[in-house]
C-alpha cells in the first residue's frame, strides 16, 4: 500500500549558483557503524567525504551495549540464525535479505578483528551470549557491555588512517539535492562555513534512527530522523514506518536521562519482577525474560497498569555478584551514580523507544528508489528485521549493508571519469519567520504525544487524536523557514511523526512491535504486506 504526505520539497530558500560549492565522488552522511563501514569500503575505490552533524563518534552505535549477532560457534548454524530472524520478524522479513546478511556477517566480523577490535574472549575463543529470540548463544560483545563503542573506535581509527576519506563534523545536512530523478548531492550547513552545496556522484545515507520523536528513548539527542525525512522530501520510498521497536528495559529514574539496560542481562539470567516482588514473564511467554522484545515490552506495560506502578524492576540478586559487576561494568557504573548496586539492588526499568525497523527502502545492494542515492543502517529498510528486530542484528546489518553500499557506490563513482557537475537548483520557499515560536515547547509536546498516542499500545481513537494534533503543529511549524539546526530537526520530526502515525492507522492489525488494542490479532490475509510512503517527484 503506497501513500504520500505533502511537506514542501526543500526546507530553505536557496540558489545553488550563489553558494560555496564542493565536488566529491562519494558523499557519506552519518558516522555510526553503517556510515563508517560505507566510507571505508568506498575509499578503496575513490575519494570520500564523510559528514556528521555532531562529533564523529556521536551516534547510536556508540551507545550500543549488547553486541553483534553472528554465527561463530560450531554448535550454531546459518540456518538457525536465519530461522530465528524470520520467526521474530513475523512474516514481514525478506528471506533473501535475511539469508544474505546473516551469511556475510562473519566475514565482516573477521575484518573488524583484523583491524583491532577487541571482542571479549574466554578459554574457548569468543565469549558468546544469548538474547531474546535467539536459539543459540551467538552474540559477540566487547568490554562486557560496550560493544558499540569498541566497534565505533575500531572503525574511526581506520577512517582516520584512510588517505582518501575527508571528514566534516558538526555539519548539518539540510536537504538532498535532486535533478532528473537522481540525487546529485546535498545542502550542508555549519556554524563556521554557513551553507555549502556539495555535488556528489553518489550519496550514501547512514543517518540513524528517530528515537527523539518519543519522550522515553534510549537514543542520543542526534537521533532526529533527518536522513529519513530528507530522503522522503527528495522522492525516495519509505517502507514499514509503523514498526518502531521499544526496548523493554531502560533505567527509570525520575529526572534522569534514560539509559539502556542491555538485554544481555536477561540473557545472563536476570529476572523481571513487578512492584510486589513477583516474577511475571513466565505468565506471558514460555521463554520468559528471553521472549521477543515486543512481548516483553507489552508485558511490562501490563504489569505497570495492573499494579499502578511507573516501572518494574530487573533483579540480578540470585546471580554471582562478582560476575555481574565484571560482565556489565558500564551499566554498573551508571547505576552507581544513583546509589544502586547492579548486583545487590533490583534496578527500576521500563520500556523506551529504541530502534526504527522501517526507513528508506533499499535493495540488497543498499540502493534506494532514487537514482545515485544509497542508504544503510537504521535509516534504511532492507527487509532484514520485518515486524520485529532480533536483538543484536542491528550492528550486523550496519556492517554488512554499510560495506555493500560503500563498495557499490565507490566502484560506480570510480568508473565514472566525469567530475560531479553543478546543477541550476533554485528553491523558492514562501514561508513565515520563526519569531515567537518556542521550539522546545513544540518538541516536548510532540514527544509526549507520540509516547501516549503512537507508542507501545495503539488504537484508532488514540491515533486519530494524535494525527489531528500533529496536523495542527505542522500547519504553523512547517510553514516557517528556519536558519538553524534545531528548527530543521523539528520539521524533520514533524514530517516523520505524521508518516509514522498514518502508517500505524493504516495497519489495522497487530504484528511484531506494532500493537493495536482494537485489532489485537495478526491478519495475514490483509496485512502480510508492506506499507510504503513516497512523495511524488517534482
Q: Which residues are catalytic?
A: 293
Of 5, 365, 88, 22, give the one whose Cα is nearest residue 204.
365
Whether 390 contacts 101, CB under 8 Å: no
Any bridge partners for residue 165, and if so which?
A: 48
Residues ≥6 apart with Cβ < 8 Å to 95: 82, 86
Grid cell of 197 as nine digits = 552545496
| Chain CA centroid to CA 485, Å | 20
Q: How far apart are CA 469 and CA 148, in angstroms?
A: 36
Q: Are 101 and 121 in contact (CB under 8 A)?
A: no
Helices 226-234, 485-506: crossing angle, 10 deg rounding: 80
Alpha carbon of 144 to those of 189, 277, 321: distances in Å?
38, 28, 15
Contact 174, 189 (CB under 8 A): yes
- Answer for the pair 226, 173: CB distance below 8 angstroms, yes or no: yes
Give the C-alpha separation, 88 to 134, whole Å.
9
515 Cβ contact partners less than 8 Å away, ≥ 6 residues apart: 294, 298, 456, 457, 458
**Chain centre to alpha carbon of residue 273:** 29
CB atoms within 10 A of CB 509: 18
170: alpha, beta or left, given left = phi > 0 and alpha = psi -120 to 50?
A: left
As a whole number of Å, the end-to-end CA separation of the chain is 21
Amino acid at each position: 500500500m503506497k501513500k504520500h504526505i505533502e511537506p514542501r520539497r526543500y526546507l530553505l530558500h536557496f540558489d545553488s549558483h550563489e553558494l560555496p560549492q564542493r565536488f566529491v565522488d562519494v558523499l557519506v552522511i552519518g558516522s555510526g557503524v553503517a556510515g563508517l563501514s560505507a566510507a571505508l569500503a568506498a575509499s578503496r575505490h575513490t575519494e570520500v567525504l564523510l559528514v556528521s552533524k555532531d562529533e564523529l563518534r556521536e551516534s547510536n552505535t556508540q551507545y550500543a551495549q549488547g553486541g553483534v549477532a553472528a554465527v561463530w560457534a560450531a554448535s550454531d548454524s546459518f540456518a538457525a540464525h536465519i530461522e530465528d530472524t524470520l520467526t521474530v520478524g513475523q512474516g514481514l522479513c525478506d528471506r533473501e535479505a535475511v539469508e544474505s546478511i546473516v551469511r556475510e556477517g562473519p566475514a565482516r566480523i573477521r575484518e573488524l578483528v583484523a583491524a583491532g577490535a577487541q571482542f571479549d574472549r574466554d578459554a574457548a575463543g569468543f565469549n558468546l551470549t544469548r538474547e531474546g529470540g535467539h536459539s543459540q548463544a551467538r552474540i559477540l560483545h566487547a568490554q562486557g557491555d560496550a560493544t558499540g563503542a569498541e566497534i565505533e573506535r575500531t572503525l574511526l581509527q581506520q577512517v582516520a588512517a584512510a588517505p582518501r576519506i575527508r571528514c566534516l563534523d558538526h555539519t548539518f545536512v539540510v536537504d538532498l539535492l535532486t535533478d532528473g530523478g537522481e540525487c546529485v548531492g546535498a545542502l550542508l550547513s555549519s556554524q563556521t562555513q554557513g551553507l555549502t552545496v556539495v555535488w556528489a556522484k553518489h550519496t550514501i545515507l547512514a543517518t540513524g534512527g528517530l528515537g527523539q520523536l518519543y519522550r522515553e528513548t534510549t537514543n542520543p539527542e542526534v537521533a532526529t530522523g533527518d536522513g529519513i525525512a530528507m530522503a522522503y522530501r527528495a522522492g525516495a520510498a519509505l517502507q514499514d514506518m509503523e514498526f518502531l521497536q521499544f526496548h523493554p528495559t531502560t533505567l527509570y529514574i525520575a529526572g534522569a536521562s534514560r539509559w539502556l539496560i542491555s538485554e544481555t542481562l536477561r540473557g545472563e539470567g536476570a529476572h523481571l519482577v513487578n512492584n510486589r516482588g513477583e516474577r511475571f514473564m513466565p505468565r506471558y511467554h514460555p521463554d520468559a525474560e528471553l521472549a521477543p522484545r515486543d512481548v516483553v515490552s507489552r508485558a511490562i506495560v501490563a504489569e505497570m497498569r495492573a499494579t499502578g506502578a511507573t516501572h518494574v524492576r530487573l533483579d540480578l540478586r540470585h546471580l554471582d555478584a562478582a560476575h555481574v559487576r565484571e560482565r556489565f561494568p558500564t551499566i554498573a557504573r551508571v547505576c552507581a551514580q544513583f546509589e544502586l548496586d547492579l548486583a545487590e539492588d533490583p534496578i527500576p526499568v521500563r520500556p523506551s523507544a529504541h530502534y526504527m525497523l522501517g526507513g528508506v527502502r533499499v535493495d540488497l545492494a543498499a540502493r534506494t528508489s532514487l537514482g545515485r542515492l544509497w542508504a544503510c543502517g537504521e535509516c534504511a529498510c532492507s527487509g532484514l528485521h520485518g515486524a520485529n528486530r532480533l536483538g543484536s542484528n542491528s550492528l550486523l546489518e550496519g556492517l554488512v549493508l554499510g560495506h555493500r553500499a560503500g563498495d557499490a557506490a565507490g566502484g560506480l563513482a570510480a568508473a565514472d571519469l566525469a567530475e560531479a557537475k553543478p546543477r541550476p537548483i533554485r528553491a523558492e520557499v514562501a514561508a513565515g519567520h520563526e519569531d515567537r515560536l518556542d521550539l522546545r515547547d513544540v518538541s516536548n509536546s510532540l514527544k509526549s504525544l507520540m509516547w501516549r498516542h503512537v507508542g507501545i499500545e495503539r488504537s484508532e481513537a488514540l491515533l486519530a487524536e494524535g494525527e489531528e494534533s500533529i496536523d495542527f503543529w505542522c500547519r504553523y511549524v512547517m510553514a516557517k523557514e528556519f536558519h538553524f539546526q534545531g528548527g530543521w530537526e523539528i520539521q524533520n520530526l514533524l514530517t516523520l511523526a505524521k508518516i509514522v502515525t498514518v502508517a500505524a492507522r493504516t495497519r489495522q492489525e497487530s504484528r511484531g512491535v506494532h500493537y493495536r488494542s482494537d485489532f489485537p490479532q495478526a491478519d495475514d490475509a490483509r496485512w502480510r504486506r508492506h506499507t510504503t510512503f513516497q512523495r511524488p517527484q517534482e
